[in-house]
Amino acid sequence: MSTDVSTEEALLRSVEELGNASDFLDSPSVARKLGIGHAALVDGLLKSLNAKLAIRLEPVTHNRWEISAEGITYADTTSPEVAFYNTVKEIVDAGQLCMPDQIEKKLAKQVLARGKQQALRRKWIAIDKGTKAFLLNDDAQVVDDVADALRTLRDQDGAPDGLPSDMLKTLKSRKLASLKPFKTFKIFEGERLADARKEQATELTKDMLESGQWKSVAFKPYNFNAEGKPTSGGYLHTLLKVREQFRLIFLEMGFEEMPTNNYVESSFWNFDALFQPQQHPARDEHDTFFLSDPEYANVPDRDYLEKVRRVHEEGGFGSRGYRYDWSEEEARKNILRTHTTAVSSRMLYLLAQEKEFKPKKYFSIDRVFRNETLDATHLAEFHQIEGLVADRNLSLGHLKGIIHEFFKKMGMSKLRFKPTHNPYTTPSLEIHSYHEGLKKWVEVGNSGVFRPEMIRPMGIPEDVTVIAWGLSLERPTMIRYGVRNIRDLFGHKVDLKAIQTNPICRLTF
């Protein structure tokens, strides 16, 4: 609400005219004098002048009569009983019998009902027993005392002065007005009234200091209760917040992050190196996005390539292989990587090229692509979290232990494992966690021990085992932030406001 300058001027002038420090103005009378509503005066003028210390306010709580919406319509026109009486009188004066159906046509439903009831009660009219017509009572003293009283209350801002207590009781029982607490203010001169008449400076400038002007300038007092503007700038997407938490968990556990900055991958690293046969349905274009340009990738070193060919065609390391003609062309096809295990296979190959094997703990969190039918829980691009440990003498017990430790850091300590199949791990275990909120077991990840057919051709030493597990980033994020549809989390339908206001994420305990 804002009030114009002349209103402010008029108010400040009256405050100035107050003689003593103990003299004050009353907010209701000021409002009346200025011709504005009390609320407008308080919110539009008094509060800001008080903040500038131009005035000082002292609140006073009184009771005052507040007129109901129904009461206001009567104050604006007449009470329903008068409306009813006048209508009956019009009909009777015209020499007609005043029958109910006749009067019904002339009055609004509510006025009719209330008016009839009150006019009968006050004996202004009667009903003729025989004809049922309304008759005027000759002795009736018809005055609109109810509407008058409401108007008086209105003119006096709810003060009942001069109104008989009977009338107030009537207004109350007819729900036309009721007593309500009401806050007004005593307005005193403020300690900086004079300054308020001048323009107030909001900051101290170099010029003011140099010219000495600062001594005479009136400064606007600080409002320590003002809320600052919300800061704007970069916002972390919800997935990035959760990713950071997973990253911290891995780092805490001594894992190194793998470089994941290539969405385009060769089929070789995504599938062939992982001992996934070339006719595997996942390698179909219904599941995988293939690139048309460049269609083919370069192959890694010949020696390793031939070892991969051999393990697919003939087997080795205790395996019979798949017994088909492995195609180098198929392996060179470029695709969008379908899982971050493609990154793990590259990294394990690099690790195997080191002169001396050193145990490693690696992780990655990044985007993968699948040619999915989109629905509330599936997108064609999503994120995977993957961890792997390469060391001597690792067993399934180590895998389960490390997975327990990993999930415990997110508060998930009830885990179960279920046998499953991956082309590149054996044994393979699905990870299920008991969801305390949903009161059921939910699948939270996949894991296994990388097959010899995968890691031995790379040159990983005989006594080294590689255990690994993976999960999606979206699933825990949706659970954490209560997102039901994945499209509200990721993609063009994401609500930017939600991104800006989402709370920080703390997964760890």
Q: Which of 442, 434, 448, 440 is nearest to 403 (CA)?
A: 448
Q: Phi/psi class of residue 316: alpha, beta or left (left: φ > 0; alpha: ψ in -120 to 50)?
A: left
**Residues binding ligand PHE: number (CB under 6 A):** 11
Residue span 374-413 as binding mask against ligand PHE, x where in contact by CB under 6 A, dash where not: ------------x---------------------------
Using CB under 6 A as the binding rule, whether residue 8 contacts ligand PHE is answered as no
Contact segment (CB under 6 A) with ligand PHE among 168-176, 182-190, 317-325, 464-472 equals 464-472
The Cα-based distances of 216 to 194, 205, 220 in angstroms read 12, 13, 13
Using CB under 6 A as the binding rule, whether residue 447 contacts ligand PHE is answered as yes
Which C-beta is closer to ligand PHE: that of 238 or that of 446?
Answer: 446
Which C-beta is closer to ligand PHE: that of 389 or that of 468?
Answer: 468
Q: In whole angstroms, how close is the CB of 321 to ligand PHE at the nearest point? A: 21
Contact residues for 263 (Cβ-Cβ < 8 A; gap 6+): 336, 337, 367, 369
How far apart (Å, rounded) are the C-alpha atoms in residues 420 and 163? 88
Using CB under 6 A as the binding rule, whether residue 272 contacts ligand PHE is answered as no
Using CB under 6 A as the binding rule, whether residue 71 contacts ligand PHE is answered as no
The Cα-based distances of 162 to 33, 96, 159, 166, 167 in angstroms read 21, 41, 9, 12, 11
Q: Two tokens at 468?
A: 């690994």
Q: Which of 451, 430, 432, 448 is nearest to 440 (CA)?
A: 432
How far apart (Å, rounded) are the C-alpha atoms in residues 328 and 495? 45
How far apart (Å, rounded) are the C-alpha atoms in residues 218 and 113? 64
Which amino acid is present at 218? A
- Angle 104-101-68 (CA atoms, 0-180°, nearest 5)? 20
Using CB under 6 A as the binding rule, whether residue 469 contacts ligand PHE is answered as yes
Q: Two tokens at 370?
A: 């699948």
Interface with ligand PHE (CB under 6 A), residue from 114, 339, 360, 409: 339
Q: In whole angstroms, how close is the CB of 340 to ligand PHE at the nearest point? A: 7
Using CB under 6 A as the binding rule, whether residue 470 contacts ligand PHE is answered as yes
Which C-beta is closer to ligand PHE: that of 79 or that of 267?
Answer: 267
Which C-beta is closer to ligand PHE: that of 49 or that of 468?
Answer: 468
Q: In whole angstroms, how close is the CB of 476 to ligand PHE at the nearest point? A: 15
Residue span 152-191 as binding mask against ligand PHE, x where in contact by CB under 6 A, dash where not: ----------------------------------------
Using CB under 6 A as the binding rule, whether residue 364 contacts ligand PHE is answered as no
Residues from 425 through 444 that contact ligand PHE (CB under 6 A)? 425
Q: In whole angstroms, how close is the CB of 499 to ligand PHE at the nearest point? A: 27
How far apart (Å, rounded) are the C-alpha atoms in residues 502 and 497? 8
Q: In whole angstroms, how close is the CB of 308 to ligand PHE at the nearest point? A: 18
Q: Two tokens at 198?
A: 């001048």
Are 364 and 388 a contacting pair, CB within 8 Å? no
Give me the residues that bind ligand PHE (CB under 6 A), please: 339, 341, 386, 422, 425, 446-448, 468-470
